[in-house]
Structure 1
């Protein structure tokens, strides 16, 4: 198999150097054939054509790639796809149910909790995971628990407002 990179160089991949990874992504079972070094992020974006999950720093420092894996929030750029074989993955495309936005998606819109929107998928997935963990009880605790998700536009206050609204409604 050949793959052309950004500099128009051709890389040859040995098909025997791939693994089949079974992932349930947003409720759909996917069998992906990936090289052992492919991150979960790249498997989601490049092998499943779900581009809502963003690649920010690709070093686990910004949180843009946050998804839910077996109900827990993870940085998908730091996980190899082969390590998550058999896992259930929820991306931003999978948080709405029956055509209805997730309450956090609605709250983000109502609180104008995004400007460029690049970090929004990771922010929402992280907030869903945080609320499911039940660790954050106060505004300060929510801010601390969300500190791994960076917004460079400065919508942090509105993001926390949106999360707090949903948190208060679900108590």
Structure 2
């Protein structure tokens, strides 16, 4: 059942996702032009949809926005995983963090998703670092984020 949300039924899973994604996205309560995303207006924990420069939110509003966005990205991610409930928790959260950052379309076409769908979770985790570019250039921050996502992912693979 692809529309189920593991985040909504598992508080610990949601907390892990918020910690991983929020830690890398950082919190900015006033919208700014994100230089890594070609100046796209961004706010809170990396939200870009419907954002205009100068928009501002409280920390609480940003936290709610992130939780809602993670559930939304989870739904998109689940659609391209053959058996999303067979994915162990830590790889699931790492895949969600990647999806949130690169978009579900890119995630669904990725080697990460292909390997996960083949049941090769270790291979999927090891493919995460391939996503280290923004605007066609390798970005040190993305190298670090992907290494952290990969580490977290591998912790959940036997």
Scaled by the length of structure 1, the TM-score of the pair is 0.32
Larger strand proportion of the pair: 1
Which protein is bigger by CA-based radius of gyration? 1
Provide TM-score, normalisation by structure 2.
0.34
